Each structure stands twice: as C-alpha cells, then as structure tokens.
Amino acid sequence: MASARLITFVLLIIYIMTAKQAGKRIFELREALNKHNHLYYIQDAPAISDYDFDMLLKELQKLEAEHPEFDDPNSPSRRVGGEVTKDFPNIKHTYPMLSLSNTYSEEELADFLERVRRLIPGTVEYVCELKYDGAAVGIRYKDGKLHKAITRGDGTKGDDITTNVRTINSVPLSLMGEGYPDEFEIRGEIFMTLDGFRELNAQRVKEGLEPFANPRNSASGTLKMQDSGIVATRPLDCFLYYVYSDREIANNHYESMLMVRDWGFKIPDPEKNYITKTHNIEHIFKFINYWDEHRYELPFEIDGIVVKVNAYEQQQKLGTTAKSPRWAIAYKFKAEQVSTELKTVTYQVGRTGAITPVANLAPVQLAGTTVKRASLHNADQIEKLDLHEGDFVFVEKGGEIIPKVVGVDLEKRTPGSPAVQYISHCPECGTELLREEGEAQHYCPNALGCPPQIKGRIEHFIGRKAMDIEGMGAETVELFYEEGLIRNYADLYALKQEQLLPLERMAEKSAENIISGIAASKEIPFERVLFALGIRFVGETVAKKLARHFESLQKLKEASYDELINVSEIGDRIAESVLAFFANKENEALVDRLVEAGLKFLVEKQEGASDTLEGKKIVISGSFERFGRTELKELIEKHGGKNTASVSKNTDLIVAGEGMGPSKRKKAEELGVELVDENQFAALIGL
C-alpha cells in the first residue's frame, strides 16, 4: 500500500517536472515566435527563414496540444485561426468611436485651420497622416495582452471580432517593451494590401466566385467571416492611428504613436512620409498635394489625408461634437477622372458562362497607368449610361482596381450615333443568352459546347489547387482543344502519349510528362477533386467542408437541399448550385467517367478510424501509462471526437489520468461530466 502511494507520488513528481519543463519551453517558443513575427511583419527585417519559423511553430503547437494547462488565447499558434464564430456579440465601446468631418476642398480645410487658430492661443502643431481606406477597429489590451477587438458598429456599440483580428500578423498579441498602461485601447484601420487583394480576386474568379468590388469591401467582409481559419489566409494588415487610455502615455499624439511602435504596433512610417508633424500650414497643403499625386504608388489604398492637432491639451480644449472631434479633419481626394473615346464594346465569356461587357478605349493616362479598357459591368449599366457608339466617356479609378466608365460627355456625342445594343447571342458560340430573374449578368447556357467555357473548366480542373497536373497549362489546354483531343476534363484520362507526339512543339519528354502528370493526379484527395469539378460557388474552402461532411461523392450526390444547408457556412446559393450540378445528366456522365478513371471520390479514412466519438468534446487530464497525451488526442480525433482544453458544461467526457487536479475533478462532479480512465477509454474505441 505504502509502496503504491510512493509510486504514485514519484509519478506525480515526474509529471509535474516534465510539465514544468514543457511550460518553460512553451513560454520560450511563444516569445521567440512573437519576436520573429514582429521582425517579419512590422520591421520588414526577418532574422530567420520561413522554414525555421514553421519548425518553431510546429514545436509550440505540439507542446500546447500535450499541455493544455498552458493554453493561452494569445499564443502565436492562434494566428492560424480555426475557431468559428456563429454570431459576433455586440459590445459597448469604452470610448465612443467617432468619425471625422470630411472635406473635399482646400478652402474648407483652411477654414478648419483658421478656426483652430482662433480658439487656441499660441502655436499649434499638426500631425498629417494618410487616411487608410479599410475598416475601423478598436483593440483593447489588458496587462500587455490583446483582450478584445471591436468593429465601429454604430459608434456606441460594435461587434466582437477578436478571434478574427488575432489572425492578423501585424496586430501584436503580446506587447513588447515596457511602460504600457495596464489597460488601454488602440484604434486603427484594417485594410487589404493591393497585391493581396488582386491575388485574392484572381483566385475567386478562377473558382467561379464573385470578385470583391474593392480592397475596402474585401477587408470588412473578411472581418465578419465566421471561420477565422479563412480570415487567417486573407492578406489583411493594420495601421494604428490613435490611443485611448485613462493614463496619458505622452502629451501629444505623435509621441504616443512613436511609443506604441516600441510596444510592437505597426504605425505609419515617418521615413516613408506616411506621417509627419508640422507647425507650418503650408506644409500641410504640401503633404496633401504630394500624396494626391503619389497615392497610386502606395501598396495600399488611401482616400485622403487626416490632419490632427498634435497636443492632447489642445485637443481637449477643442473638444468633440456628437459625431466627430473638432481637433481633426479628413481631406478627401477626388476620384481621378478622364475623358476618352469609346472604340468598341466587346463581350467576355467566363468559365461559368457569365458575360462581361468591356469598353475598349482610346488609350489614356489615368492615376499613373495607361488605360485601354474599362468595365461596363452589365446590360443595365450600359442602359443607365445611355451609351452610344463613338461616345466620349468619363473613366474613373475609384476604389476599384479596374477602371470603370462613369458617364458620357454628351457635348462630344456625334448627332444621330446609334445607342450601343447589348448582344443577344454568345459572341463565342452563337447560343442565345439568358438572364435569370434577379441576376444582373447575362450568361451563355451552352456550358458544354461553348469553347471558352469548356477550356476554362479544363484549365480550372488542371490548376495547382485542383488536380495540379504537371506539364499542363492554359496553352496545352488550348492546343489539345484545337486539335480535337479533349472536349472536357474526363477526356484527359483517355489521352495516350502517341496522340500527343505528332502535335507541334511537343517533345517526347513533354508528352511523357503530361501523361504521367495526368496519371499522378489520380492520387489527389477527394476534397480537391470536388473543387476541380468546377461547381459554381464551390471554391477550395467550400469543397473541403463538403468533402469532410459527406465523405463521399455518393453521399454528396444524394444530399437534399436541407442536408446541404445544414453544413456550416453552406448557404442556399451553394446548395442550389450543387443540386443543379448533379441533376445535370451530362455532368453525371462526366463524373462517372472520372470515377471509372480511378480518381478519388472518397475521403480516405485512417485505418481503424470510426465515428464512435462523433461530435463529443473530450478533455484529457493528468498523465497516463498506456498512452501519451498526444496519442490520446489523436485517438479522440481519429474516432470523430474533439479534444478540448478545459472542463465546461459542454464537455462530454474526461479521460482522467494520474494527478488530475482536484479542482478539475470537483468541477466535473458539479457539472456531472463522465470520467473514464485510460483503459475504459481504450475499450470505448475498441482497443
């Protein structure tokens, strides 16, 4: 008896010691990852390779999984997201989230400066900043840790988007340095970089999804997504522009900005002239004129300049109105516009058959680039503009990247010129176009016979994120199509090397690569095959969700509308599109041929996996003899359960080992959560 106690005691000591060591390492890793994150995303001066960074992150993730007692919502491992928020709770702002009074005119700006001069005796220093075009956020920090991030909402209350904001790499989760107040709030703008936005939209178009209208919509839409795992993949960035705290950290705004930079925040770079301070009114206008001219060289969008009175004391004297501070003003840039001649209107046919009218223009300089084409969106837009052949049109580059036609210069219209007639038939295959009720776009219904649609679908199918067929690209698809070798993606699997060899510019090696690339694609997992099929609105993420939920093509094909919309993040548009795809006989025949060719249409299960623990939330506590903690976690997941860190009313089961904390045991008893030891757990899953 006594020796059994002794053994338990020794085991407990060993467990505590290893836990202590693990804890120490976890803290070291978090600190290192935070530091490298800051060097990479804020200082733009990485000190280690991406690979080494990933290795540190992996080590941390492993240790955290084994030691949930060290769980921390601000661990750098949380940057990858994963938590899903169903409804964003509404939270009251500690400090109302004001907006700025706006002006488009230099006179009004001069009036503002004059008013300040009248009200504030002596000299006034101003800070000029860029006005970032994104979504405002207020981020609260407590004891140096990110506590809550809230949208502007109505200015009094906003939505709690903390989980999503944690995934933004330039937002610090733990602060560096010292001297920060125990509690404070920092306000800033979350935006999407232009490169990131373009890449994201190109991807969306490829997936048959509606592209985002502009980086601002894209950023604010992303912040309200339920799955923080997707938010983590979006190119969001954040600039901070104001600090609120009970205790003043400096006596002016500019100093505060420099201070928060030392705590790890990303503030606009004074060296790049993103922010400046001056006593001189002329400098303010110079700053504005400089950025009006150079704003298109920035890697992100701005829509104006913000001028702020620097000294807090003076800010207080000036006060605020119900809506905006009297110590600041936003000077907004006018969207740049030029007039040019409309040469022709042409129509593009996308992979999904959607028709986009394009205005081909006499080349003209606009916002730093030569514009030759502009978007006309759809038939209604052409009608609204009352566009006539040979018109001179006004082209604008506003928030959107692609310039758009915003009006017609009626004075330059040739009398009697005919109005532009929207086409009634597909420019590529001649089929009569359709327009569904409530849809803005016309489309060509000849999905299986219209060349750009056929080629587009095959291109999508072979793409890197779909079947990733090596050796093939848009040109090979074009060539094979022109030569009559393929008419759909299933035809790829019937191709023979001998058929390719006689083709122009096709070396033996290339033909061999293509054939082996096609054969290798049979190993691509079901979720990517599903994405490759090119079902409208089924992008990469949706395909993953559907594949994981239904686990096989058969089950997905049999799913009803209700079953489809019950999957998280699947709405009626997607559900209807999936149903329509499989209801189509030709699609069915195509998919049958892919099944015959040997592509994967089942989620591959690990050997011995089951759904015994399906949907169960299970806590692991203490140490074990038969299994390691990671092993237990893997077993839970293999059998459909979810390993969670702390005991709550949602916990279904606790696997209790040696040394389970008494408080946890008590909580489990109070909540009536079932406890099993490792052997009972093993029996449960048939081990």
Q: Which parts of this chain interact with ligand IVH (CB under 6 A)?
A: 98-100, 129, 131-132, 136, 152, 189, 241-242, 306, 325, 328, 330
Helix, strand, coil percent values for the chain (each to nearest 5): 40, 20, 35
Of the pair 286, 373, the CB lying nearest ligand IVH is at: 286
Residues 6+ apart with CB under 8 A from 107: none
131 is catalytic: yes
Cα separation, 601 vs 123, whole angstroms = 73
User: Nearest CA to 252 among 181, 306, 179, 309?
Assistant: 309
Of the pair 321, 424, the CB lying nearest ligand IVH is at: 321
Cα separation, 625 vs 262, whole angstroms = 47
Of the pair 131, 639, the CB lying nearest ligand IVH is at: 131
The number of angstroms, rounded, from the C-alpha of 482 to the middle of its chain's C-alpha atoms is 38
Minimum Å gap between C-beta 620 and ligand IVH is 44
- Residue 279: DSSP 8-state: S
Q: CA of 213: how far to CAs of 221, 443, 455, 563, in Å?
A: 11, 20, 26, 31
Minimum Å gap between C-beta 303 and ligand IVH is 8
Minimum Å gap between C-beta 398 and ligand IVH is 16
User: Nearest CA to 327 among 175, 113, 142, 177?
Assistant: 113
Cα separation, 438 vs 555, whole angstroms = 31
Strands 275-278 and 126-132 turn out to be: antiparallel
Of the pair 276, 584, the CB lying nearest ligand IVH is at: 276
Q: Which helix (H) or strand (E) element contains residue 654?
A: strand 653-656
What are the E-state strand segments in 576-638?
Answer: 617-621
Strands 642-644 and 617-621 turn out to be: parallel
Strand partners, 278: 126
> Do residues 545 and 537 lie in contact, with contact meaning Cβ atoms separated by under 8 Å?
no
What are the E-state strand segments in 133-274?
Answer: 135-142, 145-151, 157-159, 183-192, 236-245
The number of angstroms, rounded, from the C-alpha of 255 to the middle of its chain's C-alpha atoms is 33
Which residue among the candidates 24, 62, 131, 308 is catalytic per the annotation? 131
Q: How far apart are the first and last CA of the chain?
A: 30
Minimum Å gap between C-beta 107 and ligand IVH is 20
Residues 6+ apart with CB under 8 A from 372: 360, 361, 363
Of the pair 204, 326, the CB lying nearest ligand IVH is at: 326
Cα separation, 648 vs 282, whole angstroms = 62
Strands 653-656 and 674-676 turn out to be: parallel
User: Nearest CA to 399 among 137, 221, 213, 197?
Assistant: 213
Minimum Å gap between C-beta 330 and ligand IVH is 6
Minimum Å gap between C-beta 57 and ligand IVH is 32
User: Nearest CA to 140 among 184, 97, 92, 174?
Assistant: 184
Q: Please identify which residue in the block is written with the tokens 């790829």.
A: 492
Of the pair 189, 459, the CB lying nearest ligand IVH is at: 189
Strand partners, 655: 620, 676
Minimum Å gap between C-beta 42 and ligand IVH is 17
Minimum Å gap between C-beta 283 and ligand IVH is 17
Residues 6+ apart with CB under 8 A from 628: 66
Q: Quick one: residue 306, left, alpha or beta (phi over 0 = left, psi -120 to 50 = alpha)?
A: beta
> Do residues 29 and 60 lie in contact, with contact meaning Cβ atoms separated by under 8 Å?
yes
Of the pair 325, 463, the CB lying nearest ligand IVH is at: 325
User: Nearest CA to 207 among 512, 495, 461?
Assistant: 461
Cα separation, 435 vs 443, whole angstroms = 6
Minimum Å gap between C-beta 132 and ligand IVH is 4
Phi, psi of 410 (to 5 degrees): -65, -30
Q: Which residues are catalytic?
A: 131
